[in-house]
Amino acid sequence: MGKAAPFSVSEDYYTILGVPPTATVDEIKDRFRFFSHAYHPDKFRSESHRRMAEREFQRVNEAYQVLANPRRRGEYAAVLRFYLENGIPIYDMISAGNFEGGDFNILRDGLALVGFTDHRSEEVAARQAAEWFIKEGWEIKYAPIDQFYVHIDLMVCMLNEHCAAVCPETTEDDVIAWLKAKKIEIIPATFKETMALGCNVVTLGGDRVLSTESAKDLNAKMRAAGFTVYDPDMTMFTWAGGGVHCMCQPLRREAA
């Protein structure tokens, strides 16, 4: 993933639209209409000016798509500023719909499962994110998520590079077939346990897995397959809607 960061502190979305961080949605919409008129291709006669206007409108449209979305605006502002102010490169940003990290499921280097629903991670955004990786040579499999779940990592979770915990009752047949074709062994998780976030586990490396006490059936199957399973009582967290995988983020992707 070697693309240079396309943003700088002076180019955040508020600056692009020329509005303060306190701007209302109506004010943001007004600025978008202003720029839509200003950069309309019919206003420019030369081809070079048309191309320039198109590039500028793309920046404006991307800023508008984020800032006009009340659900995402607060998240964008804090995260983007932190990255920019600390010199952390930004590869790219979703400009259509919503996409959440729990739906980008890295199976191993160069291989990923990308999930989407019709409410949290939308298909149009999932495909936009996946295209960045496809251009870098990754193989991507798209996976519509069962209506009972929020993210793909509630029904498919890797245990090591060659084994995954999967709920066969809710995972599409073509996804299961694709996993098997990639030589990934499947340890089945029951629908009942996945609804209690039992399949939402964390691989710790060295065939060690962080699970939960309540996932007794899956834990037994993982141990029978040779995994060391840590299973603390996590109900105080799972009752709030998040499993152990939801609460973790790897700092380095190297062999443990």
Confidence of residue 133 (pLDDT cuts 50, 70, 90): very high
- At residue 71, the pLDDT reads 64
pLDDT digits (tens, 9 = 90+) for 97-113: 778 888 899 999 999 99
Per residue in 12-25, pLDDT (tens digit) is 778 888 888 778 88
> Taking residues 189-196, what's their average pLDDT?
91
79 lies in the same domain as 113: no
- Considering the domain architecture, whether residues 40 and 121 belong to the same structural domain is answered as no
- CATH code of the domain containing 218: 3.75.10.10
- Tell me, letter by letter, the H, E, C secondary structure of the chain: CCCCCCCCHHHCHHHHHCCCCCCCHHHHHHHHHHHHHHCCHHHCCCHHHHHHHHHHHHHHHHHHHHHCCHHHHHHHHHHHHHHHHCCCCCCCCCCCCCCCHHHEEEEECCEEEEEEECCCCEHHHHHHHHHHHHHCCCEEEEEECCCCCCCHHHCEEEEECCEEEECCCCCCHHHHHHHHHCCCEEEECCHHHHHCCCCCCEEEECCEEECCCCCHHHHHHHHHCCCEEECCCCHHHHCCCCCCCCCCCCCCCCCC
Same domain for 112 and 189, yes or no, is yes
Query: For the domain that residue 17 is a member of, what is the CATH number?
Result: 1.10.287.110
Q: Which of 85, 117, 150 is the last residue of a domain?
A: 85
Check whether residue 74 and residue 187 sit in a common domain.
no
Note the pLDDT of residue 154. 86
Q: Kindly report which listed range (6-10, 53-57, 251-255) carries the lowest average pLDDT score.
A: 6-10
Statement: residue 4 has pLDDT above 50: no
Mean pLDDT of 104-126: 88
131 and 79 within one domain: no
The pLDDT score that the predictor gives to residue 8 is: 46
Q: What average pLDDT does the structure give for the chain?
A: 85
191 and 158 housed in the same domain: yes
Average pLDDT over residues 46-72: 81
With pLDDT > 90 as the criterion, what percentage of the chain qualifies?
38
- The predicted model gives 190-205 an average pLDDT of 90
**What residue numbers bound the domain in which 129 lies?**
101-238
Q: Give the model's pLDDT for residue 5.
A: 46
What is the domain count for the chain?
Answer: 2
Pair (177, 108) in one structural domain: yes
State which of 43-47, 143-147, 148-152, 206-210 shows the largest mean pLDDT: 206-210
